[in-house]
């Protein structure tokens, strides 16, 4: 069910929610968190779809704040249009879409404060453009976790460096979340004999893949081995991480993804293996990040210390 509330107020939205629950039996009981999505007009649906899918694992209230940057001026008439989605249109959540312009868009925090679930954690997600310092932004200040996505920025590598300089405990980025399968596979390989130290590391990926840089930073931090990473131009089907080479005295370990979704593992004195290693979609990344509401300490260490080690080392740095 979708209820439209044109030219409304947050107070009226809250009253309508209560009325819907009383009349239809749709209750907020069991909701474990409030997810605030900050986006722009026309980009809401993809984020809402991912949130609806993730809500089947994490029942929640979703508040979408949609505003066009630059409209927070007196030249634009203040207006708030709202939309409430429950039932089949909202997965296991209830979705409130707030479309604001003019002065109504100038204070995002006030827009959502009256709609937050009481005594429930708040997670703020910027699917595209994010504030310079998420932790100090209006929607970031009220959140326990703040999720960004460096890969959606005009310059993903620059966005990654900005995340490092502005990091606040509770920050997270999908560039790190997309590494879960890679990190698990590499850790499993190194956990098998022979237990030789890694002498050098080389990571390759597309230039629009901040995950490639983060993977190199994580390996540098964990293995303390000379580490380089190579960022190549984007060609058809070549997005994301391409491969990792771990050098050892007994021979190199290579995990290379030449085919979308399939990686080839080569190890000395062992048969070649093909492994399922797909790029994680938006729903999987969001559900993964919502599994923990405390700060991700490893991500914080990698985004700050790991990146610094990678950039400062004489052997490190990107190759064209």
- For the segment 258-305, what is each residue's pLDDT rounded down to a tens digit? 888 999 999 999 999 999 999 899 999 999 999 999 999 999 999 999
315 pLDDT exceeds 60? no
Q: How far apart are CA 277 and CA 142, in angstroms?
A: 36
pLDDT at residue 199, as a whole number: 97
Tens digits of residue pLDDT in 4-18? 999 999 999 999 988
* Mean pLDDT confidence for 95-103: 91
> 160, 165, 170: which is closest to 124 by C-alpha?
170
Tens digits of residue pLDDT in 268-281? 999 999 999 998 99
* Beta carbons within 8 Å of 206's beta carbon, 6+ residues apart: 212, 231, 232, 233, 234, 238, 239, 240, 242
pLDDT at residue 314, as a whole number: 47
Token pair in block for residue 269: 């004195």
> 224, 226, 187: which is closest to 203 by C-alpha?
226
Handedness of CA 130, 70, 121, 53 (dihedral sign): negative
Tens digits of residue pLDDT in 15-48? 998 888 777 665 545 688 999 999 999 899 999 9
Report the first-to-last Cα separation within the chain, whole angstroms.
51
> Collapsing DSSP states into helix, strand and coil, what is residue 51?
helix
* Average pLDDT score, the chain: 90
Q: Report which of residues 89 and 61 the model is more confident about.
A: 61
What's the CA dihedral at 44, 47, 48, 53 to 10 degrees?
A: 160
* Mean pLDDT confidence for 231-247: 85
Residue whose token pair is 């797909």: 278
311 pLDDT exceeds 70? yes
pLDDT at residue 320, as a whole number: 46
> 178, 202, 240, 234: which is closest to 317 by C-alpha?
202
Q: Report which of residues 33 and 105 the model is more confident about.
A: 33
* Mean pLDDT confidence for 219-236: 90
In this structure, the chain runs to a length of 320
Q: How far apart are CA 317 and CA 314, in angstroms?
A: 8
pLDDT at residue 278, as a whole number: 92
pLDDT at residue 25, as a whole number: 60
By CB neighbour count within 10 A (0-12 exposed, 13-18 middle, 19+ buried), where does 291 fall?
exposed
């Amino acid at each position: 069910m979708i209820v439209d509330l044109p030219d409304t107020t947050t107070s009226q939205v809250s009253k309508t929610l209560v009325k819907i629950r009383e009349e239809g039996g749709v209750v907020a009981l069991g909701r474990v968190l409030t997810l605030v999505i900050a986006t722009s007009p026309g980009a809401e649906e993809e984020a809402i779809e991912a949130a609806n899918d993730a809500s089947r694992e994490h029942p929640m209230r979703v508040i979408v704040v949609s505003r066009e940057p630059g409209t927070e001026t007196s030249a634009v008439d203040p207006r708030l249009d709202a939309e409430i989605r429950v039932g089949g249109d909202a997965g296991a959540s209830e979705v409130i879409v707030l479309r604001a312009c003019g002065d109504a868009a100038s204070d995002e925090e006030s827009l959502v404060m009256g709609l937050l679930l009481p005594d429930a954690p708040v997670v703020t997600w910027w699917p595209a453009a994010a504030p310079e310092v998420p932790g100090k932004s209006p929607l970031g200040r009220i959140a326990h976790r703040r999720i960004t996505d460096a890969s959606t920025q005009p310059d993903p590598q620059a966005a990654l460096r900005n995340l490092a300089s502005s990091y606040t405990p509770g920050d997270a980025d999908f560039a790190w979340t997309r590494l879960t399968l890679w990190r698990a596979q590499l850790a499993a390989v190194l956990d098998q004999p022979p237990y030789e130290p890694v002498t050098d590391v080389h990571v390759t990926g597309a230039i629009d893949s901040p995950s490639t840089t983060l993977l190199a930073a994580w390996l540098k931090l964990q293995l303390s081995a000379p580490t380089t990473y190579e960022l190549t131009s984007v060609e058809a089907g070549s997005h994301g991480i391409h491969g990792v080479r771990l050098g050892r005295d007994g021979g190199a370990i290579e995990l290379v993804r030449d085919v979308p979704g399939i990686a080839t593992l080569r190890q000395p004195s062992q048969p070649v293996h093909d492994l399922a290693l797909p790029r994680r979609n938006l729903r999987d990344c969001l559900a993964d990040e919502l599994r923990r509401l405390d700060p991700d300490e490893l991500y914080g260490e990698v985004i700050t210390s790991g990146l610094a080690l990678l950039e400062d080392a004489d052997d490190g740095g990107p190759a064209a």
